[in-house]
Amino acid sequence: MTCKDFCRLIAPAVASFKNGHTFVYPMLNEFQEYIRGGGRVFPIAIQFDRQAVILRDFYGEGTLPVGGEILTINGEKAMGVCQKYASYFAAEGRTANPAVIEQTKVLWALLWMDYGGDQDLELEIKSLDGKASTYTVKSVTFDKAKPRNDSASKERTSWEFRYLEDSRCGLITIQNLNGREAFEQFLQRTFRALDSKSASALIIDLRSCPGGDSRFGDALLDYLTDRPYRQMERMRIKMSPQMFEKYGAQLKWNKNQLGSFWSMDLPPNQPKKNALRFRGRVIVLIGQGSFSSSTSFAACVKHYGIATLVGEETGDTTDLYGEGYNFRLPNSGLIISVACKHFVLAGGSSDGRGVIPDHEVKQTREDLGASPTSRAKPAIR
């Protein structure tokens, strides 16, 4: 069989472990080589809630009815296509994860696996007015797959800040938690701007943040509270040879312990003095796309009363696995990530639920259909 066929076969098998940090990368290296070589992608983004496949955005030429329901993709029922894609990735306690395919680059890789990139994509879409029509989506090179009418699109980063003058409120949007030194510099610039503006409130948007390094959350929390806190209450590690090599000396393991579990209660962090610490109201937006370290951040601010949570239940649970160890399969070359740690988050339990918002708010199709020209250029990156 081809590597693509093997990926389609093995990914659901790995997802059956119901572990959100144990998964097969969907032809990651091949897709990256493809786009580096000028390969083309289908410039769409979706929202998938198991009940409908919604066109969340379109980055190509012309217009598509954003907010409309995608009924078919190249003649196949869109629901079936997306359910198949969701089955390639697990969530904690579940064998499928619809939120993962809402990550645009993952969707592009999956569409490439099935449909290539040289031909057109035919979408049947039912718009907000109830009318169904067929649209032809032409593929574009990766560098042209940018949000429309967005002057900042070429300078997008993992985090953005802008100030909402009318409400004296700052807005931080976090797409992932990677690049620690740059992130700390971003935080310093951001909170200096909030201080100079005498901002009364701050919104932190984690709805599309798949996670990253939890130390980023600690860096942000030091700007929000002067009280002790911890994102994780307990941690457990399987002492495999790989983890022994990485942590053995640091945690004073010995080789007789290989194959056993090492666990500890994690101590709280004590924030350092910070002249830029924010004293206003803090609101954190969460949703099904909030995973891993963004879930632990949300659990922490809720448990310690640091912020009000608005949105939907997080994609990850408060009792979850993390820190993936990557290795390559010898014949196919596919990369697999295997979770190596188990965490209980602040105030977490084993009930299989994510972090629950204080105020539940769902984004509507009408919200998605709003003009993308409303996107404002961020003041600070």
The total of other beta-carbon atoms located within 10 Å of residue 270's CB is: 10
Strands 169-174 and 201-205: parallel
- 241-289 pLDDT, tens digit each: 998 888 888 888 888 889 899 999 999 999 999 999 999 999 999 998 8
What tokens does 61 get?
């030429």
Q: State yes or no: pLDDT of 193 exceeds 80.
A: yes
HSE (side-chain half, CA atoms, 13 Å) at 314: 37
Of 70-79, 151-160, 248-257, 357-366, where does mean pLDDT reach its minimum? Answer: 151-160
Quick one: pLDDT band at residue 146, thresholds 50, 70, 90? low
Architecture, CATH, for domain 3-148? Roll (2.30)
Task: Name the CA dihedral angle for 319, 322, 328, 331, rounded to a multiple of 10 degrees.
Answer: 0
Q: State yes or no: pLDDT of 366 exceeds 90.
A: no
Length of the chain, in residues: 381
Q: What is the pLDDT of residue 23?
A: 94
Q: Rounded mean pLDDT of 180-186?
A: 89
Q: State yes or no: pLDDT of 156 exceeds 60.
A: no
pTM: 0.87
Q: Rounded mean pLDDT of 352-361?
A: 96
Give Rg (Cα) of the chain: 22
Q: What is the pLDDT of residue 147?
A: 55
Q: State yes or no: pLDDT of 373 exceeds 80.
A: no
Q: What is the pLDDT of residue 354?
A: 94
204: left (phi over 0), alpha (psi -120 to 50) or beta: beta
Q: What is the pLDDT of residue 61?
A: 86
Amino acid of residue 307? A
Q: State yes or no: pLDDT of 15 exceeds 60.
A: yes
Percent of the residues in the chain that have a pLDDT greater than 90, as a whole number: 67
Architecture, CATH, for domain 153-365? Alpha-Beta Complex (3.90)
Q: State yes or no: pLDDT of 375 exceeds 80.
A: no
Task: Return the closest-CA partner of residue 324 out of 336, 314, 332, 334.
Answer: 336
Q: Is there a contact between 357 and 310 (Cβ–Cβ < 8 Å)?
A: yes
Q: What is the pLDDT of residue 370?
A: 67
Q: State yes or no: pLDDT of 32 exceeds 90.
A: no
Q: State yes or no: pLDDT of 130 exceeds 60.
A: yes
Q: State yes or no: pLDDT of 149 exceeds 50.
A: no
Q: Is there a contact between 210 and 103 (Cβ–Cβ < 8 Å)?
A: yes
Q: State yes or no: pLDDT of 194 exceeds 90.
A: yes
Q: Where in the chain is the domain with CATH 3.90.226.10?
A: 153-365
Q: What is the pLDDT of residue 283?
A: 98
Q: State yes or no: pLDDT of 93 exceeds 80.
A: yes
- 195-252 pLDDT, tens digit each: 999 999 999 999 989 888 899 999 999 999 999 999 999 999 988 999 888 888 888 8
Q: Is there a contact between 27 and 82 (Cβ–Cβ < 8 Å)?
A: no
Q: Residues 6 or more apart from 39 whose CB is under 8 A from it?
A: 31, 112, 117, 141, 142
Q: What is the pLDDT of residue 378?
A: 34
Q: Where in the chain is the domain with CATH 2.30.42.10?
A: 3-148
Quick one: pLDDT band at residue 295, thresholds 50, 70, 90? very high
Quick one: pLDDT band at residue 53, thresholds 50, 70, 90? very high
